[in-house]
Amino acid sequence: MPSQSLTTALATLALESAARTRLQQLIEARLERQDAELRQAVEQALELLPGLLRGAVRRVLGL
């Protein structure tokens, strides 16, 4: 788990071991997925931009 606040929040719930492990797996998968979702949303958004602006935004985004 990546952050102390997340570890603490999970501990506060006092879940059974299996439920806690499963929830941790789901959270980890969510965090892994978020970057891909962000990239996909950005790619869709870039389609809306005219060419020059799209190029400038791509450069700032490091794409």
Residues 26-55, one symbol each (x = binds another protein by CB under 8 A, - = not), give: xx-xxx-xxx-xxx-xx-xx--xx---x--
Residues 1-20, one symbol each (x = binds another protein by CB under 8 A, - = not), give: xxx-xx-xxx-xx-x---x-
Q: Give how many residues touch another protein by CB under 8 A.
A: 36
User: Residue 7 in contact with residue 15, Cβ under 8 Å?
Assistant: no
Q: Does the protein bind another protein through residue 56 (CB under 8 A)? A: yes
CA 30 distance to own-chain centroid: 6
Would you state the structure tokens that stand for residue 36, as one six-digit string? Answer: 């891909």
Phi, psi for residue 3 in degrees, rounded to 5? -130, 155
The helix/strand count (H/E) of the chain reads as 3, 0
For another protein, the binding residues (CB under 8 A) are 1-3, 5-6, 8-10, 12-13, 15, 19, 23, 26-27, 29-31, 33-35, 37-39, 41-42, 44-45, 48-49, 53, 56-57, 60-62
